[in-house]
Copies of this chain bind each other. A is one copy, B any other.
């Protein structure tokens, strides 16, 4: 089963010009740092400067950039504008991506009102909701449209990215509709695990999870021994001390 591969162990497996996932996740941070430097009128920056601005270690930054090519000058640093363009190109935000938002409730409204996407390579082409009382509402310079128009809009505007801000219940169904309409990237805010076919990318933003991660560390800080030291013996199976409705929950 072990083919005659003879890579040096420890070398990241990357296909032609493929970039490690961890690096991809940091490129947008570098991009933002470069834009900030550029706005401050700074034309050149060393990896140390950039790393500080981006909140990472400079060795890591240099290694990340080296995956894109050799865009710096030894002894000098990086040309801010040039590097910014190269990163923008690598990420793909030199072109605009069409985005639809589905579910114009609390969160959908906030996203629709947000001006920050347009300046970062994304164009919101439609706000969709299934609730007839919402359809027609104006938000900024857009109008909420009926979710039934999805397929038409995706085809007309070459939409490749969909944002789901519906309650958890209908999220999978909405996701399926997006995918079959031709959307191949999804950003999900609903607290459910969505399943998608191969070839479709999905990312989730989950505020409850973020808070719970903070809570875990918070608990460690305040009194290491303050944990309710409940017996861990499996003997107590089924006998749960007294947990009201705290915990996960798929709730709307």
List A residues at the B interface (Cβ < 8 Å). Answer: 19, 24-25, 27-29, 31-36, 39, 53-55, 69-71, 73, 79, 81-82, 84-94, 96-97, 99, 106-107, 109-111, 113-117, 119-122, 160-161, 184-187, 191, 193, 195, 199, 201, 203, 205-219, 221-222, 227-228, 230, 232, 234, 236-241, 243, 245-252
A23 to B210, CA, bound (A): 13
- Counting every copy of the chain, the complex holds 2
Q: Are B209 and A25 in contact (CB under 8 A)?
A: yes
Report the separation of the CA atoms of residues A23 and B120 in the bound assembly, to the nearest whole angstrom: 32
Known: A27-B216, A120-B248, A240-B82. A211 touches B114 (CB 8 A): no
B213 touches A97 (CB 8 A): no
**Contact partners of A28 in chain B: CB under 8 A:** 206, 208-209, 212-213, 248
Residues of B within 8 A of A54 (CB): 193
